[in-house]
Chains A and B, each alone.
Chain A
Amino acid sequence: GNSVTQMEGPVTLSEEAFLTINCTYTATGYPSLFWYVQYPGEGLQLLLKATKADDKGSNKGFEATYRKETTSFHLEKGSVQVSDSAVYFCALNPLTFGKGTMLLVSP
């Protein structure tokens, strides 16, 4: 069956540091890939998505590229802010979520 594996957190960074959260997947066919963000006490919000190989999703300074050859969809941001502190979920064809990675950014 389908599955998503994310790096375990928490990821602790200082403001303006570079962020990478790894995500790899197992699936049949050509799934769509998503990153969702969940702020404390709230529901999930779509951060970005990619629907086919080599697509790059981007939003709010975050980027992720759909790599079919490595079955990966790593999330990156060049300079994180304190307000980026949240839990990030990688998801496959929206029904399969990774376990989430908590990001903590300190001033």
Chain B
Amino acid sequence: DAMVIQNPRYQVTQFGKPVTLSCSQTLNHNVMYWYQQKSSQAPKLLFHYYDKDFNNEADTPDNFQSRRPNTSFCFLDIRSPGLGDAAMYLCATSRGDWRAEFRETQYFGPGTRLLVL
């Protein structure tokens, strides 16, 4: 089945130690998103890739970076995790069309829960 896969499901890191979360998809969607979701809150968009074009949200901290080496994979790098970065990180994909920007459904992965010690 076509899907969005996130690894690992749970990640523990130390304060200040760089960590990378990964996302892959078999849907061949051209748009990929990263969201941060804290407990009992809505997902907050960090950034997205429209094809190879990176789009950062204005309030996303510089501590968060992303890479998309090819259509299938996208990575979230947290350069120096703080205690406040502990959250669920959700990857999503959609089939984007510049004529109907973001009208397409997003498909979400199961998420990676990050714990910062």
Contact = CB atoms under 8 A, between A and B. Distances in A.
Interface residues of A, number: 19
A42 B94 contact: no
B43 A97 contact: yes
Contact of B90 (A43, A46, A93, A98): A43
Contact of B105 (A42, A43, A94): A94
B106 A46 contact: yes
DSSP class of A's interface residues: helix, strand, loop or mixed? loop
Q: How large is the interface on B (under 10, 10 to 19, 20 to 34, 35 or more residues)?
A: 20 to 34
Contacts of A43: 4, 6, 90, 108-111
Interface string B64-90: 000000000000000000000000001
B25 to A, nearest CB: 13
B41 A94 contact: no
Nearest to A32: B103
Interface of B: 4, 6, 40-43, 45, 90, 92, 94, 101-111
